[in-house]
Amino acid sequence: MRIGIDARLNAYRQGGIAHYTRELLAALAAAAPADEFVALQHVRNRKPLVAAPNVRRATFITPPHHRREQHMLALELWPRRLDLLHCPDFIPPLRRPCPAVITVHDLAFRHFPDILDADARRYYGQIGVAVASAEGLITVSESTRNDIMALLGVPAERINVVYEAVGPQFQPGAAAAQARRRINGHDLVAEEFLLFVSTIEPRKNIAMLLRALKLCVERNPHSPLRLVLAGARGWHDQPIFDLVRELRLDERVVFLGAVAMPDLLWLYDACRIYVNPSRYEGFGLPALEALACGAPSVVSAVSSLPEITADAALHLPVDDIDAWAGTLTVLWDDAAQRAELARRGPQRAAQFSWQRAAAETLAVYRRVAR
């Protein structure tokens, strides 16, 4: 088969869907050497997304999420002679020359419509017709599958759950030879901070985490405990920064912004506890990355997080500030429990692989093509 992978978003972003697209394409190329994969890349992205004998690069001028994308993309697709098109970014062209498979990563925009600006609302507002139109539908967790059924009315048998995975670079040991590290202008000491990794936005429930941190500090003011947040700024994030000042946590909270991969690996390995208090995750890749690196982890007991982390993390009610403060205070001093969680994490993460994701995705392609 000649399979097109819509990778235009990779010219604009690195994480999230762009990361998924890159990792899946590499695994697909390795798993199906007899098939040809065409990476549909935007003109501003001049380097091949994946270097493999059966991957071709096709240059497209239509930007992702453009208001005229439906018409422009359809015209650019027509001469490519694809047998199938995979759209990892939710929305396929409705008029297209071949069958389409789409990946719906989450329905956060349905749960939290306020996170969208007008352009994003227009783009993601097409999700209903997108899932009705697509010949194949993939999602990344049973939790999101249930959302698609409940919120979009899609029958269960149409939805294929294909889990994401982490790369081989995520493993324990990155901090073994370096007890201190300077990252984006901040000096950090291993084992002396909590770690949060994701975009800084209200859906991530950082405000609750800050209030729990305040309780921890009040109960043990001499503890070196700090909260380090690694991630770019996102939607409506200013109140989060304001709350840090209001709670007088300026000396306890570090915003690193986006970090390079070597720094991210060190952070996961060096943190005393990884925390993810998010209100909603379609998959929760940072949580799986933390497990793979052996970070003792505490996550919200909502959406996909319990499904992905299983018994390798502690699960807490999403809005229970006292529960979070109490658990973090106890776990901070409980070396035995942290060691047990650190042992379970890599074992759980090993149950997910891009090779398996590629095999299951290919099976969807074959069914659609038939």
Go through the domains of the chain in sequence order and give each one's CATH number.
2-165+353-369 (3.40.50.2000), 180-349 (3.40.50.2000)
- Per-residue confidence (pLDDT) for residue 238, from 0 to 100: 92
Helix H or strand E segment including 175: none
Identify the DSSP state of 62. Answer: P
Contacts 24+ apart (CB under 8 A), 203-206: 203/108, 203/112, 203/115, 203/235, 203/278, 203/279, 203/280, 204/277, 204/278, 204/279, 205/277, 205/278, 205/279, 205/300, 205/318, 205/319, 206/240, 206/277
- Per-residue confidence (pLDDT) for residue 117, from 0 to 100: 79
Does the structure show a pLDDT above 80 at 177? no
User: How confident is the model over 156-175, as pLDDT tens digits?
Assistant: 999 999 999 999 999 999 77
Q: What is the rounded average pLDDT for all residues in the chain?
A: 95
Torsion sign, CA atoms 9, 12, 17, 23: positive
- Per-residue confidence (pLDDT) for residue 14, from 0 to 100: 82
Does the structure show a pLDDT above 90 at 120? no
User: How confident is the model over 25-71, as pLDDT tens digits?
Assistant: 999 999 999 999 999 999 999 899 999 999 999 999 999 999 999 99
Tokens of 67: 């208001």
Band the pLDDT of 112: cuts 50, 70, 90: confident
- Per-residue confidence (pLDDT) for residue 353, from 0 to 100: 97
Band the pLDDT of 236: cuts 50, 70, 90: confident
Higher pLDDT: 68 or 120? It is: 68
Residues pairing with 326 in the sheet = none
CA angle 8, 13, 17 (to 5 degrees): 75
CA angle 360, 361, 364 (to 5 degrees): 95
Does the structure show a pLDDT above 80 at 323? yes
- Per-residue confidence (pLDDT) for residue 192, from 0 to 100: 95
Quick check: helix, strand or coil at residue 156?
A: helix
Band the pLDDT of 116: cuts 50, 70, 90: confident
Residue for token pair 């070196």: 224
Q: What is the spatial distance between Cα 283 and Cα 304, in angstroms, rounded to a whole number?
A: 6
Mean pLDDT along residues 7-35 = 95
pTM comes to 0.94
Q: What is the spatial distance between Cα 79 and Cα 185, in angstroms, rounded to a whole number?
A: 49
CA angle 240, 243, 246 (to 5 degrees): 165
Q: What is the spatial distance between Cα 364 and Cα 208, in angstroms, rounded to a whole number?
A: 40
Band the pLDDT of 253: cuts 50, 70, 90: very high
What residue type is assigned to position 102 of the chain? I
Higher pLDDT: 212 or 118? It is: 212
- Per-residue confidence (pLDDT) for residue 175, from 0 to 100: 74
Residue 275 CB coordination number (10 Å) = 31
CA angle 199, 201, 203 (to 5 degrees): 105
Measure CA of the first residue to CA of the last residue in the chain; give whole Å: 11
- Four-point Cα dihedral 292, 294, 298, 302, nearest 10: 10
- Per-residue confidence (pLDDT) for residue 142, from 0 to 100: 98
Q: What is the Cα 336 distance to its own chain's centre?
A: 30
Identify the DSSP state of 63. Answer: P
Q: What is the spatial distance between Cα 96 and Cα 84, in angstroms, rounded to a whole number?
A: 10
User: How confident is the model over 280-298, as pLDDT tens digits?
Assistant: 999 999 999 999 999 999 9
Band the pLDDT of 244: cuts 50, 70, 90: very high
Torsion sign, CA atoms 100, 101, 105, 110: positive
Residue 293 and residue 317 in contact, taking contact as beta carbons nearer than 8 Å = no
What residue type is assigned to position 282 of the chain? G
